[in-house]
Structure 1
């Protein structure tokens, strides 16, 4: 099935001592469903996977699997610089989530479509009965490869290939992927700050971190676009960009945005190094900044 609408890239909840706090996940799940989020993308960049051990990543996968529901589609990112670790994570996830995803190895970087397909094929085979997504995020993985070329090759080699999490601003490549084989593959757009730019290209599924915080705003952008109210839609997109910029100005977006979840009653705890962890008073100031640009009414509930 093609998952549609907003998919939240979720945080790894932690205790104050930095250990995982999976007890937060049931309420986290209810919060996302309440805000009409369609799915979870766990253990990704937002979820600090690179700062977690394989066992911790498995713990997060298991915790979310215990909170599966028909309202929330679970995608588990299992990619790792070690192919062995990635295959082990895929095997663990195979009977627990709805789909798996991998990004390319990011230390010894891949330099060809052939190597990328080989890497993906071996991991996908460890969870053959669930859909497989490639997580395209070249700014972090370094695998700045053409995704249309990837689909052409991978579609012949990976039986459970479902699509791509497309976190790049190359809209031409995105468009070609959307139309490859008459739209056969689910190409999920992953660049929150240009959400509005994906709409004329036919995007109907999105994965991003700010969908935790601003789901009502993005659904409003989509509604305004569909009504032909482009000026109003663009103004809301500008507010979404300012949200990212304001949080980022307080020490870096990832850690500050994770801590912001506490303002919704979802205490995801501190961030691991090198991300920033702020105190409660700092978030009171951030809310004042967001109020000044008229953003508070669009926050998730």
Structure 2
């Protein structure tokens, strides 16, 4: 099964003391479904996975599994710099979610697609009945490898390989992956700021953090593109970019964007270090800036 439409990279909700607050995940799930989000990518970069313990990541996985819905496809990122930890997380997820994903180890960085395939194969085998996705985000993982080359070998070695979460601006490599073996694999586009650029290449599934905040905007961009209204679509894409730039200007996007979810009635608490947690006064300033560029009416409901 190919996942289509918007998939939200989800936050790790916390109490004010910094402990996990998984009790809000049911409400979070309903919010995403209401905004026509078709899936969840949990325990990823947006979800502060590098700042969580293995047990906390498992707790998040379990909480989302308790709110499984036919309307929301659950992908659990289980990657880790430790192959042993990643395999343990994959085993835990095997009977709880709809798919698993991994990014490459990010300290001792991988320098060949053969090493990457070995790492992925070991983890995928721990959840053999689940679709497996590789999470390609070289700006953070350092594994700046060609994904078409990876697909050519992984497709023969990993029976449950489903596709790639492609978070890179190399659109040539993306297009080759999308067309590989007649479009067999689910290549999910993961670069929100160039969402519009993915549409002429045939993208039909996207994973990103700003889909939490602006799902209506992205669906409108898609509609405008399909109607041939490229100027209007580009104007909205520019607004999406400005959203990221404005929030980033207040101490870093990840932490500030997590706190912005309070605007929608979802208090996810503070961010883990090194991400910023800012005051309510900051969000008043942000709201004024977003209103000034005409973005407030295009946010999630």
TM tier relative to shorter chain: over 0.9
TM-score (norm 1): 1.00
Paired residue for 1:194? Answer: 194
Cα shift at 1:150: 0.3
- 1:209 and 2:209 equivalent? yes
Paired residue for 2:262? Answer: 262
Distance 2:198 2:266 in 1: 29
Residues 12-51 of structure 1 mapped to structure 2, 5 A cutoff: 12-51=12-51
Distance 2:187 2:231 in 1: 26
Paired residue for 1:249? Answer: 249
Paired residue for 1:165? Answer: 165
Distance 1:57 1:153 in 2: 30
Paired residue for 2:144? Answer: 144
Cα shift at 1:279: 1.3
Cα shift at 1:162: 0.1
SS at match of 1:126: coil
Paired residue for 1:237? Answer: 237
Distance 1:120 1:42 in 2: 18
Paired residue for 2:96? Answer: 96
Distance 1:113 1:221 in 2: 35
SS at match of 2:100: strand
Residue by residue over 1:172-224, the C-alpha shift from the partner in whole angstroms, topping out at 9 and shown as x without a partner, is 00000000000000000000000000000000000000000000000000000
Paired residue for 1:126? Answer: 126
Distance 1:242 1:294 in 2: 11
Cα shift at 1:280: 1.3
Paired residue for 1:185? Answer: 185
Residue by residue over 1:64-122, the C-alpha shift from the partner in whole angstroms, topping out at 9 and shown as x without a partner, is 00000000000000000000000000000000000000000000100101000000000
Cα shift at 1:285: 1.1
Q: CA RMSD in A?
A: 0.3
Paired residue for 1:67? Answer: 67
SS at match of 1:152: helix
Distance 1:39 1:279 in 2: 30
* Number of aligned residue pairs: 301
Cα shift at 1:236: 0.1
- 1:287 and 2:281 equivalent? no
Residue by residue over 1:35-68, the C-alpha shift from the partner in whole angstroms, topping out at 9 and shown as x without a partner, is 0000000000000000000000000000000000
Distance 1:187 1:239 in 2: 25
Paired residue for 2:174? Answer: 174
- 1:219 and 2:227 equivalent? no
Distance 1:253 1:228 in 2: 32
Unmatched segments (≥5 aa) in structure 2: none
